[in-house]
Structure 1
């Protein structure tokens, strides 16, 4: 398989894995298989009869939910397939020297750590810091694959020169604010705080007097039998949600102003990236509002995850080309 085709397939599969993980999490199926990497000590989801016959001693008291268990196992199958594709990319990098070795080895290291996080997500019963790290690890995987893809593009396919240093700095700032927003979004999701505020634009009632930053952003939340459905107080969850929402406004201003700055450029390729950024930003804001108005329907919530991914890839594309072209110009 050609290198660029292989990388493209890996990017699409990574995108699918992340969204499947989001769907599994939002379906409350994260603990449907209490062991890892098998499910009730089976390579596929067992039937109730198999569970009673073969594994009742290991999983005494557990209730098998086949539909949710299959969601979890399909996610694992997809993640395993992605790991094999990344292994193939590594082999090509070592034999043909087509892809940047540093990025490729970094990708492999992240994937190995991701596998450990996937195991800990189950064994630590959805501990928020572990689940969020697993989520961010998925974003790191697709980001590294995207950067490897961008490095494989020929120079004549790259974005044309952007002379304004201010755009470079604005693009870097935009990427930074977006990453913080993704982290806040992950923390909101893993602590089941998405519905802590049910009004717009901020929160209902006298929310200022209920802020609890100490508990809200403590990485350690004590020892619990399970962290499913969250263990934080309502005030702590509201604090997380409000921070995510306020920072969304900051991110929207930074990315929106960057998009209009790109649209003001004369070079078509730069202007086109501004259109993409503005489109993804408007879509993501709309999805966020709909999540609140319609009480987090699973389809919109998964689409909100996809919107964050598209914004991240768009910002990586802009930063990669703006800084690379700026560096070429200085030389």
Structure 2
């Protein structure tokens, strides 16, 4: 089950990247209906099928080049849904053995909600509120699946621990060493900042504001552009019109969104730079060196990709990689928090295992 959960994480990353690709090539309405495409299970390509499709949707003639990105994304998302339902069914069957089953069931329910947002993205004509929530839902699904993998791996490791070690491990693990215990709320604060930055990135993408500033480090030649309209840029009651393809915000509104996203990136960078340095200094056992280094690497890569997006005017490969690395940064922070929580339990299991080995050596 753990292997299938790991596969679902990898597939979720692919789905997120395909979603970014679909948005970036303006194929969000490549198929005007859902879940099919012009009433077909695949993009109509023959002359007869295209004629039927155009008769069904006269306002949105068939564009095969834009239909396929949308349908490939749907096929991948549908496959992920089937895998998630399979994990839920397997968890129910194995619940008596102690396998976590509530989380797989919650993920299965959430994937249904995510599918609904996918439908509304099309039926509500790319309404930015729905598009942003759909993107956040994808990141949430990925995070939950990653947490499931960690819990399943922990369960498998627990099964391998000797009975003596299991008995001496208390039900409630103690707090980590004093040098690391105080970092827990700050780690959760960092996770909240990452979630807020991901939300800003989703709002930037949904409103086509990524190209609002094309220079660095300034925006349109100014450190703080005049005329930025934050009220317009963050108006969640905006109307869609016939559809929202290409966006409908004014330039001042888009600049306000873009600059806010840049400021958020600087806040995240400064926060984690200080936090990771402090963790490195106080982690005398070096248990968190690896996870902290992973966060640092993901953060550096994400900042670099963000800068490259602006410098090279949103090239498709870099823009897709920026979305994927955003997910990677989120998961690396979740993993760091997970490892922080496992510190006392890991130390106790290692101590118990060491004690068992010594006892066996003495009695031998």
1:6 corresponds to: 4
Give aligned pairs, total.
327
Structure 2 equivalent of residue 120 of structure 1: 120
Equivalent position of 1:183 in the other structure = 199
Gaps in structure 2 of 5+ consecutive residues: 159-174, 349-364
Give 1:252's aligned residue. 269
* 299-308 or 64-73: bigger deviation: 64-73
- How far apart are residue 67 of structure 1 and its match? 2.2
> Which residue of the partner structure matches residue 304 of structure 1?
322
2:233 pairs, out of 216, 224, 232, with 216
Determine the C-alpha separation between the residues in 2 that align with 1:231 and 1:178: 27
Give secondary structure in 1 for the equivalent of 2:55: coil
Cα shift readout 1:164-222 (whole Å, capped 9, x = no counterpart): 22221221111111110000011001100001111222412454431211111111212
- Aligned with 2:252: secondary structure? helix
Q: Distance in 2 between matches of 1:34 and 1:212?
A: 32
Conserved 8 A contact 1:32-1:69: yes
Who is 1:134 aligned against? Answer: 134
The TM-score with structure 1 as length reference comes to: 0.93
8 Å contact kept, 1:36–1:122: yes
CA-based RMSD: 2.2
Rounded to whole Å, the distance in 1 between the matches of 2:252 and 2:46 is 40
Q: Is 2:53–2:62's contact at 8 Å kept on the other side of the alignment?
A: no
What displacement does 1:100 show?
A: 2.6
Aligned residue in 1 for 2:187: 171
2:278 pairs with 261, 272, 280, which one?
261
What per-residue deviation string (whole Å, max 9, x for no partner) do you get for residues 277-318 of structure 1? 111111111111111110110110011011111110000111
How big is the shift at 1:267?
Answer: 2.5
* 1:284 paired residue number: 302
Structure 1 residue aligned with 2:248, among 224, 228, 231? 231
Mapped pair 1:272 → 2:270 = no
Show the counterpart of 2:360.
none
Taking the aligned partners of 1:180 and 1:288, their CA distance within structure 2 comes to 16
Maintained 8 Å contact 1:202/1:246: no
* Match status 1:107 vs 2:125: no
Match of 1:26 in 2: 24
Query: In 2 relative to 1, CA 326–236 (structure 1 residues): closer, same or farther, beyond 3 Å?
Result: farther
Counterpart of 1:200 in structure 2 is: 216
- Aligned-residue offset at 1:326: 5.7
Are residue 72 (structure 1) and residue 70 (structure 2) matched? yes
**Partner SS for 1:55:** helix
Structure-1 separation of matches of 2:324 and 2:106: 24
**Closer, same or farther in 2 for the Cα pair 1:81/1:34, shift >3 Å?**
same
**TM-score, normalising length from structure 2?**
0.85
- Please say which structure displays the higher CA radius of gyration: 2
CA apart distance, 1:15: 0.6
Q: Is the 8 A contact 1:45 1:70 kept in 2?
A: yes
Given that 2:215 and 2:221 are in contact with CA atoms closer than 8 Å, whether structure 1 keeps it comes out as no
Contact residue 291 and residue 339 of structure 2 kept, 8 A: no
Distance change in 2, residues 1:304/1:56 (3 Å): closer
CA contact (8 A) 1:256 1:281 kept: no
Distance, in Å, in 2 between the alignment partners of 1:156 and 1:122 is: 41
